[in-house]
Protein backbone atom coordinates (compact mmCIF):
# COMPACT_ATOMS: atom_id res chain seq x y z
CA UNK A 1 0.00 0.00 0.00
CA UNK A 2 2.85 2.42 0.61
CA UNK A 3 3.88 2.70 -3.09
CA UNK A 4 0.29 3.78 -3.96
CA UNK A 5 0.39 6.64 -1.38
CA UNK A 6 3.76 7.87 -2.61
CA UNK A 7 2.47 7.80 -6.19
CA UNK A 8 -0.50 10.04 -5.27
CA UNK A 9 1.78 12.50 -3.48
CA UNK A 10 4.07 12.71 -6.49
CA UNK A 11 1.09 13.41 -8.78
CA UNK A 12 -0.12 16.25 -6.52
CA UNK A 13 3.32 17.84 -6.45
CA UNK A 14 3.62 17.58 -10.22
CA UNK A 15 0.20 19.20 -10.64
CA UNK A 16 1.10 22.25 -8.53
CA UNK A 17 4.49 22.55 -10.22
CA UNK A 18 3.00 22.70 -13.68
CA UNK A 19 0.24 25.02 -12.41
CA UNK A 20 2.90 27.41 -11.11
CA UNK A 21 4.75 27.24 -14.42
CA UNK A 22 1.51 28.00 -16.27
CA UNK A 23 0.74 31.00 -14.04
CA UNK A 24 4.28 32.29 -14.50
CA UNK A 25 4.08 32.08 -18.28
CA UNK A 26 0.63 33.65 -18.22
CA UNK A 27 1.95 36.53 -16.12
CA UNK A 28 4.98 37.04 -18.36
CA UNK A 29 2.71 37.06 -21.39
CA UNK A 30 0.44 39.68 -19.83
CA UNK A 31 3.35 41.87 -18.70
CA UNK A 32 4.97 41.77 -22.14
CA UNK A 33 1.91 43.24 -23.82
CA UNK A 34 1.51 46.97 -24.54
CA UNK A 35 -0.90 48.97 -22.34
CA UNK A 36 -2.06 52.57 -22.16
CA UNK A 37 -2.82 53.96 -18.72
CA UNK A 38 -2.54 57.11 -16.61
CA UNK A 39 0.53 57.79 -14.47
CA UNK A 40 0.97 60.47 -11.77
CA UNK A 41 4.31 62.24 -11.45
CA UNK A 42 5.36 64.44 -8.54
CA UNK A 43 7.14 67.73 -9.35
CA UNK A 44 10.51 68.75 -7.96
CA UNK A 45 11.42 72.42 -8.49
CA UNK A 46 15.19 72.97 -8.60
CA UNK A 47 17.64 75.78 -9.34
CA UNK A 48 15.40 78.59 -8.04
CA UNK A 49 16.74 81.99 -9.22
CA UNK A 50 18.79 83.92 -6.64
CA UNK A 51 16.77 86.09 -4.22
CA UNK A 52 13.56 84.37 -5.27
CA UNK A 53 11.41 81.68 -3.69
CA UNK A 54 8.47 79.52 -4.72
CA UNK A 55 5.04 81.03 -4.17
CA UNK A 56 2.24 79.09 -2.52
CA UNK A 57 -0.12 77.15 -4.76
CA UNK A 58 2.32 75.89 -7.38
CA UNK A 59 1.43 72.49 -8.84
CA UNK A 60 2.84 69.56 -6.88
CA UNK A 61 2.09 66.86 -9.47
CA UNK A 62 0.85 66.22 -13.00
CA UNK A 63 -0.67 63.21 -14.71
CA UNK A 64 -0.28 61.85 -18.22
CA UNK A 65 -1.03 58.73 -20.24
CA UNK A 66 1.77 56.44 -21.33
CA UNK A 67 1.86 53.43 -23.61
CA UNK A 68 4.30 50.83 -22.34
CA UNK A 69 4.55 47.14 -21.57
CA UNK A 70 3.48 45.68 -18.27
CA UNK A 71 7.01 45.46 -16.93
CA UNK A 72 7.50 49.22 -17.36
CA UNK A 73 4.11 49.96 -15.79
CA UNK A 74 5.07 47.83 -12.82
CA UNK A 75 8.26 49.88 -12.45
CA UNK A 76 6.38 53.19 -12.48
CA UNK A 77 3.85 51.93 -9.92
CA UNK A 78 6.61 50.85 -7.57
CA UNK A 79 8.68 53.99 -8.11
CA UNK A 80 6.66 57.09 -8.95
CA UNK A 81 8.48 59.18 -11.57
CA UNK A 82 9.60 62.68 -10.55
CA UNK A 83 9.37 65.61 -12.92
CA UNK A 84 12.52 67.65 -12.28
CA UNK A 85 12.02 71.29 -13.34
CA UNK A 86 15.00 73.64 -13.62
CA UNK A 87 13.09 76.84 -12.80
CA UNK A 88 15.82 79.30 -13.75
CA UNK A 89 15.88 77.91 -17.30
CA UNK A 90 12.30 79.13 -17.84
CA UNK A 91 12.30 82.18 -15.53
CA UNK A 92 11.02 85.57 -16.77
CA UNK A 93 12.23 88.48 -14.59
CA UNK A 94 9.45 90.82 -15.72
CA UNK A 95 6.61 88.57 -14.61
CA UNK A 96 8.40 86.72 -11.77
CA UNK A 97 7.16 83.50 -13.35
CA UNK A 98 8.54 80.46 -15.08
CA UNK A 99 6.25 79.21 -17.88
CA UNK A 100 6.85 75.69 -19.21
CA UNK A 101 4.91 74.89 -22.37
CA UNK A 102 3.14 71.59 -22.90
CA UNK A 103 5.80 70.51 -25.39
CA UNK A 104 8.54 71.25 -22.82
CA UNK A 105 6.61 69.38 -20.13
CA UNK A 106 6.38 66.32 -22.38
CA UNK A 107 10.09 66.61 -23.15
CA UNK A 108 10.97 66.82 -19.44
CA UNK A 109 8.72 63.88 -18.61
CA UNK A 110 10.27 61.82 -21.39
CA UNK A 111 13.70 62.26 -19.83
CA UNK A 112 12.44 60.61 -16.63
CA UNK A 113 10.99 57.58 -18.45
CA UNK A 114 12.45 54.69 -20.37
CA UNK A 115 13.16 55.20 -24.04
CA UNK A 116 10.34 54.18 -26.36
CA UNK A 117 7.57 55.03 -23.88
CA UNK A 118 4.88 57.08 -25.65
CA UNK A 119 3.39 60.05 -23.72
CA UNK A 120 0.07 61.75 -24.39
CA UNK A 121 -2.86 63.47 -22.65
CA UNK A 122 -0.70 65.55 -20.29
CA UNK A 123 -2.95 67.09 -17.60
CA UNK A 124 -1.68 70.66 -18.21
CA UNK A 125 -1.49 72.78 -21.33
CA UNK A 126 1.34 74.71 -19.71
CA UNK A 127 2.94 74.71 -16.29
CA UNK A 128 3.19 78.14 -14.61
CA UNK A 129 5.62 78.41 -11.69
CA UNK A 130 4.95 81.52 -9.58
CA UNK A 131 7.82 83.07 -7.63
CA UNK A 132 8.16 85.74 -4.96
CA UNK A 133 11.16 88.02 -4.44
CA UNK A 134 12.96 87.53 -1.12
CA UNK A 135 13.26 90.69 0.99
CA UNK A 136 15.05 91.23 4.29
CA UNK A 137 14.61 93.54 7.25
CA UNK A 138 16.16 94.03 10.66
CA UNK A 139 13.98 93.54 13.74
CA UNK A 140 14.71 93.79 17.49
CA UNK A 141 14.97 90.76 19.75
CA UNK A 142 12.80 90.71 22.89
CA UNK A 143 13.98 88.42 25.67
CA UNK A 144 11.70 86.14 27.65
CA UNK A 145 13.85 85.42 30.66
CA UNK A 146 12.66 85.08 34.23
CA UNK A 147 15.33 85.45 36.93
CA UNK A 148 15.02 84.86 40.65
CA UNK A 149 18.07 85.68 42.79
CA UNK A 150 19.60 84.01 45.77
CA UNK A 151 18.90 85.94 48.96
CA UNK A 152 21.16 89.01 49.09
CA UNK A 153 21.99 88.95 45.35
CA UNK A 154 20.63 90.96 42.44
CA UNK A 155 21.39 92.04 38.91
CA UNK A 156 23.93 94.82 38.67
CA UNK A 157 22.95 96.19 35.27
CA UNK A 158 20.05 95.67 32.89
CA UNK A 159 19.92 92.52 30.79
CA UNK A 160 21.95 92.63 27.59
CA UNK A 161 20.81 90.80 24.45
CA UNK A 162 23.64 90.09 22.01
CA UNK A 163 22.93 90.71 19.19
CA UNK A 164 19.96 92.88 20.04
CA UNK A 165 18.47 92.55 16.54
CA UNK A 166 18.43 89.99 13.73
CA UNK A 167 17.66 89.85 10.01
CA UNK A 168 14.58 88.04 8.76
CA UNK A 169 14.16 87.13 5.10
CA UNK A 170 11.20 85.90 3.09
CA UNK A 171 8.41 87.06 0.79
CA UNK A 172 7.36 90.64 1.45
CA UNK A 173 3.77 89.78 2.35
CA UNK A 174 4.98 87.40 5.08
CA UNK A 175 7.25 90.04 6.67
CA UNK A 176 4.81 92.96 6.77
CA UNK A 177 3.37 92.33 10.24
CA UNK A 178 6.56 91.10 11.93
CA UNK A 179 8.19 93.93 13.91
CA UNK A 180 10.05 91.91 16.57
CA UNK A 181 11.05 88.39 17.51
CA UNK A 182 11.11 86.79 20.96
CA UNK A 183 13.48 84.34 22.56
CA UNK A 184 12.20 81.04 23.86
CA UNK A 185 11.24 81.29 27.56
CA UNK A 186 14.12 80.79 30.02
CA UNK A 187 13.76 80.48 33.80
CA UNK A 188 16.83 80.95 36.01
CA UNK A 189 16.47 80.34 39.74
CA UNK A 190 18.68 81.37 42.70
CA UNK A 191 21.14 83.32 40.56
CA UNK A 192 24.32 84.28 42.43
CA UNK A 193 26.85 84.68 39.61
CA UNK A 194 27.00 86.45 36.26
CA UNK A 195 24.47 85.14 33.73
CA UNK A 196 25.46 84.23 30.17
CA UNK A 197 23.05 81.91 28.41
CA UNK A 198 22.29 81.08 24.77
CA UNK A 199 18.65 81.56 23.86
CA UNK A 200 16.98 80.20 20.74
CA UNK A 201 14.57 82.47 18.90
CA UNK A 202 10.90 81.63 18.42
CA UNK A 203 10.95 81.26 14.66
CA UNK A 204 7.83 82.16 12.65
CA UNK A 205 5.61 79.17 11.89
CA UNK A 206 5.64 80.19 8.24
CA UNK A 207 8.35 77.96 6.79
CA UNK A 208 9.10 80.56 4.11
CA UNK A 209 10.79 82.93 6.60
CA UNK A 210 14.42 82.53 7.61
CA UNK A 211 16.12 84.23 10.58
CA UNK A 212 19.84 85.00 10.84
CA UNK A 213 21.12 84.34 13.43
CA UNK A 214 18.56 82.04 15.06
CA UNK A 215 20.09 82.23 18.56
CA UNK A 216 21.22 85.12 20.77
CA UNK A 217 23.16 85.43 24.03
CA UNK A 218 21.55 86.88 27.16
CA UNK A 219 23.97 88.45 29.64
CA UNK A 220 23.64 90.07 33.04
CA UNK A 221 26.11 90.84 35.78
CA UNK A 222 25.01 89.50 39.16
CA UNK A 223 26.55 90.53 42.46
CA UNK A 224 25.86 90.51 46.19
CA UNK A 225 23.98 93.51 47.57
CA UNK A 226 23.91 95.06 51.04
CA UNK A 227 21.38 97.36 52.72
CA UNK A 228 22.50 100.93 53.47
CA UNK A 229 20.98 104.06 55.03
CA UNK A 230 22.05 107.63 54.24
CA UNK A 231 21.09 111.26 54.90
CA UNK A 232 20.52 113.29 51.72
CA UNK A 233 19.90 117.08 51.52
CA UNK A 234 16.71 118.29 49.85
CA UNK A 235 16.56 120.65 46.87
CA UNK A 236 13.60 122.83 45.96
CA UNK A 237 12.59 123.67 42.39
CA UNK A 238 10.09 126.03 40.72
CA UNK A 239 10.32 128.47 43.63
CA UNK A 240 9.21 132.06 42.80
CA UNK A 241 12.03 134.59 43.10
CA UNK A 242 10.14 136.71 45.67
CA UNK A 243 9.66 133.82 48.10
CA UNK A 244 12.01 132.24 50.62
CA UNK A 245 11.20 128.82 52.05
CA UNK A 246 12.47 126.85 54.97
CA UNK A 247 12.03 123.07 54.66
CA UNK A 248 11.38 121.03 57.77
CA UNK A 249 13.43 118.86 57.75
CA UNK A 250 16.05 120.04 55.27
CA UNK A 251 17.48 116.53 54.88
CA UNK A 252 15.78 113.15 54.46
CA UNK A 253 16.76 109.61 55.35
CA UNK A 254 16.87 107.06 52.56
CA UNK A 255 17.53 103.34 52.48
CA UNK A 256 18.74 101.37 49.47
CA UNK A 257 20.53 98.23 48.39
CA UNK A 258 23.96 98.52 46.82
CA UNK A 259 26.57 96.16 45.48
CA UNK A 260 29.07 95.22 48.18
CA UNK A 261 31.83 96.16 45.74
CA UNK A 262 30.53 99.75 45.56
CA UNK A 263 29.62 100.11 49.24
CA UNK A 264 32.51 102.46 50.07
CA UNK A 265 32.18 104.51 46.87
CA UNK A 266 28.65 105.83 47.41
CA UNK A 267 27.93 109.31 48.85
CA UNK A 268 24.97 111.62 49.42
CA UNK A 269 25.92 113.72 46.38
CA UNK A 270 25.10 110.74 44.14
CA UNK A 271 21.41 111.25 44.94
CA UNK A 272 19.10 114.11 43.99
CA UNK A 273 15.85 114.45 45.96
CA UNK A 274 13.61 117.44 45.28
CA UNK A 275 10.55 119.29 46.55
CA UNK A 276 8.58 120.83 43.70
CA UNK A 277 6.95 124.12 44.75
CA UNK A 278 4.40 123.85 41.94
CA UNK A 279 3.19 120.51 43.34
CA UNK A 280 3.01 121.52 47.02
CA UNK A 281 -0.03 120.84 49.19
CA UNK A 282 -1.12 124.42 49.89
CA UNK A 283 -3.85 123.52 52.34
CA UNK A 284 -1.63 121.63 54.76
CA UNK A 285 1.72 123.16 53.76
CA UNK A 286 3.79 120.14 52.89
CA UNK A 287 5.74 118.62 50.01
CA UNK A 288 6.07 115.02 48.90
CA UNK A 289 9.82 114.46 48.33
CA UNK A 290 10.65 113.07 44.88
CA UNK A 291 13.72 111.04 43.96
CA UNK A 292 15.07 112.64 40.79
CA UNK A 293 18.37 110.79 40.45
CA UNK A 294 20.18 107.88 42.02
CA UNK A 295 23.21 105.76 41.17
CA UNK A 296 22.42 102.95 38.73
CA UNK A 297 24.28 100.45 40.92
CA UNK A 298 21.63 100.88 43.65
CA UNK A 299 18.32 99.06 44.07
CA UNK A 300 15.10 99.58 46.05
CA UNK A 301 15.69 103.21 47.02
CA UNK A 302 13.16 104.34 49.62
CA UNK A 303 12.68 107.80 51.14
CA UNK A 304 11.80 107.33 54.79
CA UNK A 305 10.48 110.88 55.30
CA UNK A 306 7.18 110.86 53.41
CA UNK A 307 6.14 114.50 54.03
CA UNK A 308 8.23 117.67 54.23
CA UNK A 309 6.73 120.66 56.04
CA UNK A 310 7.72 124.19 55.07
CA UNK A 311 7.61 127.80 56.19
CA UNK A 312 7.27 130.69 53.74
CA UNK A 313 9.08 134.03 54.18
CA UNK A 314 8.28 136.96 51.91
pLDDT at position 107 is 83
pLDDT at position 27 is 45
The CATH code that applies to domain 31-133 is: 2.170.120
Look at the alpha carbons of 86, 89, 91, 93 in this order and tell me if their dihedral is positive or negative.
positive
* Cross-strand bridge partners of residue 134: 171
Q: Does domain 226-313 have CATH number 2.170.120.30?
A: yes
For residue range 222-250, what is the model confidence (pLDDT) as tens digits? 999 989 999 999 999 999 888 888 999 99
For residue range 19-78, what is the model confidence (pLDDT) as tens digits? 565 555 444 454 445 656 677 788 899 999 988 888 888 888 888 777 665 556 556 555
For residue range 121-158, what is the model confidence (pLDDT) as tens digits? 788 888 999 998 899 999 999 999 999 999 989 888 88
Q: Does domain 143-220 have CATH number 2.170.120?
A: yes
Per-residue burial over 48-66, b if 16 or more Cβ lie within 10 Å, else e, is: beeebbbeeebeeebebeb
3-state helix, strand, coil in the chain (%, to 5): 20, 50, 30
Backbone angles phi, psi at 110, to 5 degrees: -60, -35
CA 114 from centre of chain: 44
Q: What is the location of CATH 2.170.120.30 in the chain?
A: 226-313
pLDDT at position 307 is 93
Distance CA 291, CA 64 (A): 81
With beta carbons less than 8 A apart as the criterion, state whether 282 and 221 touch.
Answer: no
Amino acid sequence: MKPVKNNKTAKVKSFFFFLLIAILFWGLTKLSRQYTASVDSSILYTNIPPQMMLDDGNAESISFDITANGFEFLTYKLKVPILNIDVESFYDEETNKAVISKANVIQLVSKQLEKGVAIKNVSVNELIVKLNPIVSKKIPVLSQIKISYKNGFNGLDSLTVRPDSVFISGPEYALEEIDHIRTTPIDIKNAERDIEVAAALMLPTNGKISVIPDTVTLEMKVTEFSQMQMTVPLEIINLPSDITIKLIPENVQITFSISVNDFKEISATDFTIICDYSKRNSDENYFIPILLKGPKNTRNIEILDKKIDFLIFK
